[in-house]
Structure 1
């Protein structure tokens, strides 16, 4: 079969962890594994452009009853002639004339062939742990924005709750872990020029941490529903995380997976740490679900 001309249909935004699929294309990759492209998948891939949430753990069940381990799922793209995987993708998502696909990487001797029908089965426990971590990450970013709101001396872009968007302005990296996240913010000269006052932050860090935690506890007690808004079924169709808090419904663009209600987080603890990285002050937020 030829390379697909349309994006992979993705089912994980709706919470799916199992689906039937057709193998559209097989192709060896330089590291010795085989890339398997399906017409649709419940398996969440890692995106090299913003690899905050990693790959799901999954297997294929073949029609003959064999189980094929998916060692990694990665966002890939094709122009119809060549398949580019992960960091090798040369264009931005949504580029005209390109199809963006989920490359399921398996061992080269895996018992799958083009045209086969397989069942994708995702590890539900691991998926749920990552979903808790990702929802916790978004909620904590909003709470931190609120706790730091009085440190801005200029008008800046606001978040979905109307607070100065420190997270959006300062984020350097985000890592979704099982039941938590690690977010690193750069307090560089550019941020300070935008109006963020970093002076005295170390002395106030404990109070900021406590304020962030208190906001999170209040929101979780509401047990607000959470869902993913989707513009379409394809891998590159716009998706957003939405939490219907009592004060407002808030939305953040996101391609990851999430819980369906804030009560699933149990309780959250936030730890803030200041450090100097190559001469640049950084603030690290560790968010962990403990319930």
Structure 2
């Protein structure tokens, strides 16, 4: 059966949790499951290049009935072949590829041409969206808290502070109302002018981070994803209207609509010695009103 030649239209960046699309292709998988490709979906898949936010949870409804979507993967198509998830060898948006959302199901697959309704678990999406917004805010607050730790000019973040987060991040994971960011402070960062001694008093750094987060929540501010195209591969930007500046951060995840939806964000910091330097872990827990 032919594969799509245009990207999946995605509606989750606008906050949609339900959509109706047409089945374009069904790919049998080796484990007995199937990957269902639709022309339009509200289902957020895992991004292969930066898999920080997990896939949505939800269901797909066709004439055969309703069944769970057990996973959502980003797929890429080239030369008549579909590459899914970790097997996708290029970043989303690479020229010459078609990028699709693959809805993984374990039950009987629908027929090509059928109409399919996607319904996303709204509570789980909301918890991930709150955590993702809080994660970005915590990164900006950490940059601010460490702004005096640099002895050389460094690239700056969306608010004009030295971009510790962007320069040191190794891994990031979004969970329901929680995120974990792991940073490496090694020779490369020290050569850029960062002083590891700035982390000697971690409790003081965490206090500055949390104080900034409290100020931002109290002030409120609109949050949105800006994009010029509804295609999966289109560039998307997280924009947040903070009291002390407007952010513009590339992001493919989902977010809340206003900081007023958050009742609390709290971060904790720990360090561990690793070969050649330090590893800093930031845990961020969010709560909604």
Name the SS for the 1:282 alignment partner.
Answer: strand
Is the 2:73–2:103 Cα contact (8 Å) retained in structure 1?
yes
State the distance in 2 between where 1:223 and 1:153 align.
33
1:255 aligns with 252
Runs of 4+ in structure 1 displaced over 3 angstroms? 277-280
SS class of match (1:266): strand
- After alignment, is 88-97 or 19-28 more displaced? 88-97
Give 1:121's aligned residue.
119
For residues 195 and 110 of structure 1, what CA distance do their matches in structure 2 show?
57
* CA 278–105 in structure 1, closer or farther in 2 if over 3 Å, else same: farther
What corresponds to 2:170 in structure 1? 172
Partner of 2:248, secondary structure, is strand
Per the alignment, residue 102 of structure 1 pairs with: 101
Q: Does 1:271 align with 2:268?
A: yes
Distance 1:143 1:153 in 2: 19
| Contact 2:17/2:121 (8 A) holds in 1 | yes
Provide the C-alpha distance between the structure 1 equivalents of 2:154 and 2:76, rounded to a whole number of angstroms.
Answer: 35
Q: Which residue of 1 aligns with 2:128?
A: 130
Instruction: Please name the residue that 1:284 is paired with.
Output: 281
Residues 132, 174 of structure 2: 8 Å contact kept: yes
1:44-63 equivalences under 5 Å are 44-63=44-63
Q: 1:224 aligns with which of 217, 221, 239?
A: 221
Does the 8 A contact of 1:5 with 1:80 survive in 2?
no
Tell me the secondary structure at the aligned position of residue 152 of structure 1.
coil
Structure 1 residue 25 displacement after superposition = 0.1
Partner of 1:209: 206
SS of aligned partner of 1:242:
strand
* Partner residue, 2:14: 14
- Relative to the length of structure 1, the TM-score reads 0.96
Counterpart of 2:31? 31
Name the residue aligned to 1:84.
83
CA shift, 1:70, in A, is 0.5
Structure 2 equivalent of residue 70 of structure 1: 69
Q: Which has the larger displacement, 83-92 or 276-285?
A: 276-285
Which deviations, in whole Å up to 9, do the C-alpha atoms of 1:38-71 show, x marking residues without a partner? 001000000121110000001111135x112110
Contact 2:179 2:285 in 1 (8 A): yes
Aligned match of 2:158? 160
Please name the residue that 1:182 is paired with: 180
Q: Which moved more, 1:261-270 or 1:161-170?
A: 261-270
CA offset at residue 278 of structure 1? Answer: 4.5
Q: 1:29 to 1:280 in 2, by over 3 A?
A: farther
> Is there any run of 5+ residues in structure 1 with no aligned partner, and where?
none
Task: State the Cα distance separating 1:290 from its structure 2 match.
Answer: 3.5
Residue 2 of structure 1 is matched in structure 2 by: 2
5+ residue gaps, structure 2, are none
Number of the residue aligned with 1:199? 197
Q: Are the counterparts in 2 of residues 68 and 111 from structure 1 also a CA contact under 8 Å?
A: no
**Matched residue count:** 288
User: How far apart are 1:4 and its partner, in Å?
Assistant: 0.5
Q: Is the 8 A contact 1:3 1:80 kept in 2?
A: no
TM-score, normalising length: structure 2: 0.97
> Given that residues 49 and 92 in structure 2 are in contact (C-alpha distance below 8 angstroms), is that contact kept between their aligned partners in structure 1?
no
